[in-house]
Amino acid sequence: DIQMTQSPSSLSASVGDRVTITCRASQTIDIYLNWYQQKPGKAPKLLIYGASSLQGGVPSRFSGSRSGRDFTLTISSLQPEDFATYYCQQAYSTPLTFGGGTEVEIK
Amino acid sequence: QVQLQESGPGLVKPSETLALTCTVSGDSISRYYWSWIRQSPEKGLEWIGYIHYSGDTKYDPSLQSRVTISIDTSNNHFSLRLDSVTAADAAVYYCARRGNWGLASYFDFWSQGTLVTVSS
Reduced to 3 states, what is the DSSP secondary structure of residue A65? strand
Is A49's CB within 8 Å of B101's CB? yes
| pLDDT tens-digit series, residues B44-62 | 999 999 999 898 999 999 9
Say yes or no to pLDDT of B101 above 90. Answer: no
CB pairs below 8 Å between A and B: how many? 61
Share of chain A above pLDDT 70, in %: 100
According to the model, what pLDDT value does residue B6 have? Answer: 97
pLDDT classification of A105: cutoffs 50, 70, 90: very high
Number of H helices, E strands in chain A: 0, 11
Q: Which residues pair with B18 in a beta bridge?
A: B82
Q: Closest Cα of chain A to B15: distance in Å?
A: 25
pLDDT classification of B102: cutoffs 50, 70, 90: confident
Q: A61 with A79: CB under 8 angstroms?
A: yes
According to the model, what pLDDT value does residue B103 have? Answer: 84
Q: B117 with B9: CB under 8 angstroms?
A: no
Q: Closest Cα of chain A to B66: distance in Å?
A: 16
Rounded distance between C-alpha atoms, residue B18 and residue B67, angstroms: 9
| pLDDT tens-digit series, residues B74-87 | 999 999 999 999 99
Q: Does B53 touch chain A (CB under 8 A)?
A: no
Q: Closest Cα of chain B to A107: distance in Å?
A: 24
